[in-house]
Structures are given as structure tokens and as C-alpha cells.
Amino acid sequence: MCNVGGMDRLLRIVAGLVLIGLAATHTVGLWGWIGVVPLLTGAIGWCPAYSLFRIKTCRTKP
């Protein structure tokens, strides 16, 4: 079930890649690897936190 919409997914993927890139180049500390979370949630289109708070940014089918 999708609960992450198009622009939200794109922003999550970009933010995740930036954080992972910064962590891989030692620009930020180990906390930068948290970028894996937005990268994965953006890639699969489902966020457990959104489910918990009943948030949905994707379009619903009529």
C-alpha cells in the first residue's frame, strides 16, 4: 500500500542519497548513514511513520 506520493518520494530519495554520500566521504559523522531510511521509504513508497499517524501524500484511486 502506497502512502508516500511522487514529490515526497523524490525528496526522500535525494535527501537519502545526499546524506549517504556525505557519510561515505566522511564529511559528516556516522549519523549520516541514517540517509538509508529516507532512501528506502522513498524507493518503496511506504513509510511506517506515515502509517502510524495516518498520513498519506500519494494520490488515491477513485
Question: How long a stretch of residues is the chain?
Answer: 62
Query: Which pTM was predicted?
Result: 0.88
Q: How confident is the model at residue 59 (pLDDT cuts 50, 70, 90)?
A: confident
- Asked if pLDDT for residue 62 goes beyond 70, the answer is no
All structural domains of the chain with their residue ranges: 6-52
Dihedral angle sign, alpha carbons of residues 55, 58, 48, 39: negative
Which pLDDT belongs to residue 50?
95
Q: Which three cell numbers stand for residue 21?
A: 554520500
How much helix, strand and coil, in percent to the nearest 5, is found in the chain?
Answer: 65, 0, 35
